[in-house]
Amino acid sequence: MESPNLCSEESRGNVTQVLSKILKLLSWFGLAVVIAGFTAGLVSGQWLSLPLGVMITGTILMGLSFLWRWQTGADTSEQGWWRWRSTQSGTNAFISTLAVLVILGLINFMAVRFSYRVDFTEQKTFSLAPQTLNVLSSLQKPVEVLVFIGNDSSASGTQSQVVLQNQLLLKEYQRQQPNFFKFRFVDPQAEPGLARKHGIRNLGDISLVSGQRMKLLSSGLSEVTLTPAIALLTHNREAKAYVIQGHNEVPLSGFTESLAGVVNQLKLEGITVESLNLSLQRAIPKDADVLILAGPKLPLLEAEITLIDAFLKQGGNLFLMLDPEVEVGLKPTLKSIGIELDGRLIVDPKHVRLAWPAAADYGDHPITQSFNQKFSFFPFVQAIDIQEQPGQQVFKLLQTSEETWAESDLTDQQIRFNPESDRKGPLTIGVAIKRSISAPPADQAESSGAEKSEAPESEANPTPESKPSPSKPESPESTPAPTESKPSEPASTESVPPPSSAEDLQPDITGEAARIVVIGDSDFAKDDPYFDQTVNRDIFVNAVSWLIADGDDPTLSIRPKTVIQRSLNISQSMRDLLSFLGVAVLPLLAFLTAAALWWQRR
């Protein structure tokens, strides 16, 4: 018969073993609780009572387990609890888990502290446009963007998605300029005084604040609207452009075949656009920063031309978009600045529409310097000839490819290049001129230099006078000068002075100067869906901005791009084949692979 002491010792041993197993499992449970609390705080970003409480609870459980093992191990084992294989394995697992968490935390910290993004999309869809980067880099004072939107938890998924997109866009702006760009979301119901101060009427309105100036955006938040607003707010640009009307020009408004798109873009950039009927004016308005003449179909009156000439002589800025085969009476004005219009329609055999040539070369000028590898089309455009003159700089903005030509005979059913009458490309279709107001007109410049040019040119061409070749119909005003050596060829567009010549003329135009942009087409600026993926609108807006700017504006660059939607068109038979591969062939291959592995291991 066993004594009571032996029974009691055996029962205590059983209890100790049960508690040891429970506390052993409790250590792993405590570790899991600590990890759960840490994860909850990391994901939510708020280390409040719940995550901290869970982590503290797990730590206490792990401490109790370790304390129990320490005590029982010292009493029951000569080697001690720390020498147990299970203890060493558990310790190694704990240290490994802790090391992984520390490494992940350091990687996350480095990624947040030193962020770097790479945009692999074709059109750099998720990157800011070059103009935006220029505007942000030129900020000299803080700009804060206030987005007024309600804090409604029951908001629709679409609204939540819009808020997320706005937040990502503003964070990208702040990443590019962390010192001067700030933003925050404001609940107008929680702060009605602030909403009233900024004139907020609808949820989603955005207010830009820079110093004492404020600007309200009600058209939604996007790069297209935000960047011009920042430029207007910080550069204090207040300009006005007048568009001449009354001669069947391209209208300012309308659903199609109008300038509504470019006019809206100019307004977003702080440039006021108004129509102007010159026949009702005695003088050009004094607040006119630029005059725009877009594709007139009727000749201008003599009094209107006189007003334009006087405007240029006073240092005014002019933007001419003149279509071929239309005489509007501006030949003397253009001749005075060394410009002559070819008048023939340019043909591009590479384009599906022959009369829609594309610009193959963009000039190194603030208007076009950011358009490399971009597309622009100019329907029904004519070439522009340039004569070098003192007191002005001429820049080629747009040139066609070598495959294009100026067609002389449009009556032929089959358009082909005729080397005897047509003019081979590349052809200049857009120029920018910076001309001193004290520069002499072209005819005076030619007369002053006639004595110097007469001798060498007479040696090259003994005939004192020559008539233009009948292969190119020209008006009496465009008859070549007597000193031309090859009258059958039109004036070459290569007569534009090279950059070195422009630099040599720079001292002559350091004072007040007029700026002129001439493009041999007006259709390129119209609201045509075909131009949505081109830089046609950017060319127009950049030209107006350069004409208005006091100097070469560093913020002139390409506007934010639109996303190109690409689709894969496949036939019905290909669709059936792909469906069969996905539904039958691939699952069958997976099953056969599994069966082969089973048979091999059998």
Structural domain ending residue among the three candidates 523, 548, 573: 548
Asked, for residue 33, whether it belongs to a domain, the answer is yes
Burial class (CB in 10 A: 0-12, 13-18, 19+), 112: exposed
- The reply to whether 183 falls in a domain is yes
State whether 146 and 102 are in the same domain.
Answer: no
Q: Which amino acid is at 435?
A: R
Q: Which residues does residue 240 pair with via DSSP β-bridges, in sequence order?
A: 272
pLDDT for 428: 94
Residue with tokens 């309105």: 205
pLDDT confidence of residue 455: 42
Residues 405 and 531 in one domain: yes
Give CA separation, 527 vs 259, 481, 532, in Å: 6, 41, 9
300 occurs within a structural domain: yes
Is residue 68 domain-resident? yes
Same domain, 332 and 427: yes
The whole-number pLDDT of residue 493 equals 35
CA count, 13 A, side-chain hemisphere, 232 = 20
* Amino acid 153: pLDDT: 54
Residues 432 and 515 both lie in one domain = yes
Q: Are residues 264 and 387 in the same domain?
A: yes
Residue 231 lies in a domain: no
Check whether residue 299 and residue 429 sit in a common domain: yes
> Does the global pTM surpass 0.85?
no
- In this structure, the answer to whether residues 306 and 267 fall within a common structural domain is yes
Report the first-to-last Cα separation within the chain, whole angstroms: 58
Identity of the amino acid at 413: Q
Q: Which domain holds residue 501?
A: 239-409+421-441+489-548
Answer yes or no: is 565 within a domain: no
pLDDT, tens digit, 9 for 90 and up, residues 185-237: 998 888 888 888 887 767 778 888 888 777 777 656 888 778 877 887 787 65
- What is the number of domains present in the chain? 3
Q: 564 in a domain, yes or no?
A: no
Examine the domain organization and report whether 198 and 168 are in the same domain: yes
- The CATH number of the domain holding residue 207 is 3.40.30.10
| Co-location of 392 and 347 in the same domain | yes
pLDDT tens-digit map of 76-101: 544 455 566 776 787 788 788 888 98
Residues of the chain below pLDDT 50: 74, 77-79, 450-508, 552, 554, 557
**102, 208: one domain:** no
Distance CA 550, CA 545 (A): 10
User: Looking at the structure, do residues 54 and 194 belong to the same domain, yes or no?
Assistant: no
- Looking at the structure, do residues 166 and 75 belong to the same domain, yes or no? no
Distance (Å, rounded) from C-alpha 137 to C-alpha 178?
A: 10
The pLDDT score that the predictor gives to residue 506 is 39
Q: Find the CATH number of the domain harbouring 297.
A: 3.40.50.880
Task: Report whether the peptide linkage leading into residue 426 is cis, meaning its omega lies within 30 degrees of zero.
Answer: yes
In a domain, residue 484? The reply is no
